[in-house]
């Protein structure tokens, strides 16, 4: 299949186009990961009466999909995901929260990050150390959003 002024698409792309898929759907933005590890935050969390009267320390990991190419090329912080801003916002939110379950808190953190920061995908891990005797770590891991975005949805140019 020869296209005027363009090189033929790779075999997989050609096959997909032949069965009706748009070429733009097949070009996805490659996503890099910006992360925070062991973000230490004290909050009220737990189902027991004694847990509702104290603040417990949680350790939070957050992975966020983003495209860092512009920042890498410019070497300017304005062109990247500001992980300090994410950290401050999450710490503020968690320290003011009073959820019973770490599952609920993880969902709320993921929703906050997806809503307030330019990321299409987030992974949140919450570690409630000490919740189970003899366990080094106890908690949840959730992923929300999509790791890649299509050119058609974003309007951004991608490499083939």
Q: What is the DSSP string of 88-100?
A: HHHHHHHHH---S
Tokens, residue 26: 């097949």
- H-run or E-run covering 108: helix 102-116
Q: In angstroms, rounded to a whole number, what is the distance separating the alpha carbons of residues 97 and 55?
A: 10
Annotated active-site residue in 108, 115, 128, 129: 128
Q: Is 128 an active-site residue?
A: yes
Asked whether the beta carbons of 102 and 140 are under 8 A apart, the reply is yes
E strand segments, 31-154 = 32-43, 56-66, 121-127, 139-145
Catalytic residue IDs: 128
């Amino acid at each position: 299949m020869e296209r005027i002024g363009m090189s033929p698409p790779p075999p997989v792309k050609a096959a997909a186009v032949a069965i009706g898929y748009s070429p733009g759907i097949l070009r996805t933005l490659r996503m890099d990961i910006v992360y925070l590890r062991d973000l230490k935050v004290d909050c009220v969390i737990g189902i027991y009466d004694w847990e509702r009267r104290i603040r417990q320390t949680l350790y939070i990991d957050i992975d966020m999909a983003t495209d860092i190419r512009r920042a890498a090329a410019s070497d300017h912080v304005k062109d990247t995901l500001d992980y300090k801003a994410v950290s401050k916002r999450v710490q503020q939110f968690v320290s003011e929260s009073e959820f019973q379950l770490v599952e609920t808190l993880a969902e709320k953190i993921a929703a906050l990050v997806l809503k307030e920061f330019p990321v299409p995908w987030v992974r949140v891990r919450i570690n409630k150390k000490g919740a189970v005797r003899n366990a080094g770590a106890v908690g949840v891991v959730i992923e929300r959003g999509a790791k890649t975005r299509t050119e058609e949805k974003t309007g951004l140019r991608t490499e083939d």
